Structure 1
């Protein structure tokens, strides 16, 4: 097994991709983030919270040589990025707030890819 769960990686990357496209459209139109985007963020966050729990369980029950502290810190960081970006966007109801959410979504996608590499042993 090279990944904790390949479907979670795929689901998070697809959700991040869809959300990023919607956010880019809003940036081009010079609009603030809307409720529909926060629904996508919430759905992505639910998957990330499930991944946090499943990842900690998998780490505790694996024989792999995984750097535990690094792995858990990436799990937690991935789970925190979207809520921080969303709250920042709610405080800044402008195009800049939409850009902050886009950066949070792109950060989650990058952290997700790195998390998969850490699990595979590429520290």
Structure 2
């Protein structure tokens, strides 16, 4: 797993989570900016997952490749699913959905790093 890219993803997700949860607390519905910012986070996550998939074809593979693959699928699907659900809920709860998704993404990225660190040469 790429260290700087993982850190950037985690930082962006946490900053965005703080923003979205603040907007939910202020009783604001998801704006176009909120949805676009989450989509940008999703693109950053997609790059991270692409780098991880390319890394699977190298010499050092995770010892539990099926679990790693499951986390990859979950990680890349999380942001688009949150956007879809937030668009279905055009109230403050939509921002809460996006905010919680942004809080879960760093956990998924950290878990991917943990699994990737245990490699089989």
Distance between the aligned counterparts of 1:36 and 1:30, measured in 2? Answer: 16
- Structure 2, unaligned runs of 5 or more: none
- Structure 1, unaligned runs of 5 or more: none
The aligned counterpart of 2:50 is 53
Residue of 14, 21, 45 corresponding to 1:24: 21
SS for the counterpart of 1:30 is coil
The aligned counterpart of 2:94 is 97
Structure 1 length-normalised TM = 0.89
Structure 2 length-normalised TM = 0.90
Work out which structure has the larger RCO, using CA pairs closer than 8 Å and 6 or more positions apart in sequence: 2
Structure 1 stretches of 4+ with a deviation exceeding 2 A read: 62-66
Contact 2:49–2:72 (CA under 8 A) maintained in structure 1: yes
Give CA deviations for 1:27-84 in whole Å, capped at 9, x if unaligned.
1210111111122212111111112221111012133443111111111111111111
Distance between the aligned counterparts of 1:84 and 1:105, measured in 2? Answer: 12
Aligned length: 119
